[in-house]
Amino acid sequence: MDAPLAFRRQLLDAIPRLRRYARSLVFDSHGADDLVQTTLERALAHWHQFDQRRDILLWAVSIAHNAFMDDRRREKRQPALDAYESYDDRADELPAPGVDIGLRIDLLAALRRLPVEQREPLLLVSLEQLSYADCAQALGIPIGTVMSRVSRGRAALRELLDGKPPRSTSGLRRVV
């Protein structure tokens, strides 16, 4: 049975925010598009499990989170065949007038260094403006864990952007 039209409309409306979240999580437009496609496929396949009282974005983000974690586990088991970083097709685009491209590059580099466990809740709370409770629900973790990860992520991000080595380097990824 196909998903009802109202469900499809809600899902379509959530795509821009879902893609923005995937883009900031994966750092690669092709990988983000793949994650969004996987999320949409899973959502459409399991539309009957969606509770209409819930926000569809939260439901989609939790599907995206699970798909992302599945990919991370798969990558750990299978070494990458391609040694080159994937080419981001948007890297050649000119920035909008008034955009500080240097700050944007610094921010992306700092976000890349955060462990995904801090980056995910930080992006959902800061960028997507989800409440701590909604973020906890989407990621399937306790609200206190969200709060501490967001706090540690903000502190580490602030230190990285100030050019200081973070006080706690545990969990930070080394970018070469």
pLDDT of residue 169: 47
Cα separation, 142 vs 114, in Å, equals 20
- For residue 44, is it within any domain? yes
- For residue 92, is it within any domain? no
CATH number for 111: 1.10.10.10
- For residue 91, is it within any domain? no
72-95: b or e for each residue (b if 16 or more CB lie within 10 Å)?
eeeeeeeeeeeeeeeeeeeeeeee
Specify whether 70 is located in the same domain as 25.
yes
* 104-128: pLDDT as tens digits: 778 888 888 999 999 999 999 998 8
Asked whether the beta carbons of 150 and 121 are under 8 A apart, the reply is yes
Q: Which domain does 102 fall in, by range?
A: 97-176
Residues of the chain below pLDDT 70: 1, 78-101, 166-176
Q: Is this prediction's pTM over 0.85?
A: no
* 45-64: pLDDT as tens digits: 999 898 888 889 999 999 99
CATH number for 68: 1.10.1740.10
Instruction: Decide which of 79, 106, 141 is a domain's last residue.
Output: 79
Q: What region does 141 belong to: left with phi over 0, alpha with psi -120 to 50, or beta?
A: beta
CA angle at 26 for the pair 124 and 78, rounded to the nearest 5°: 130
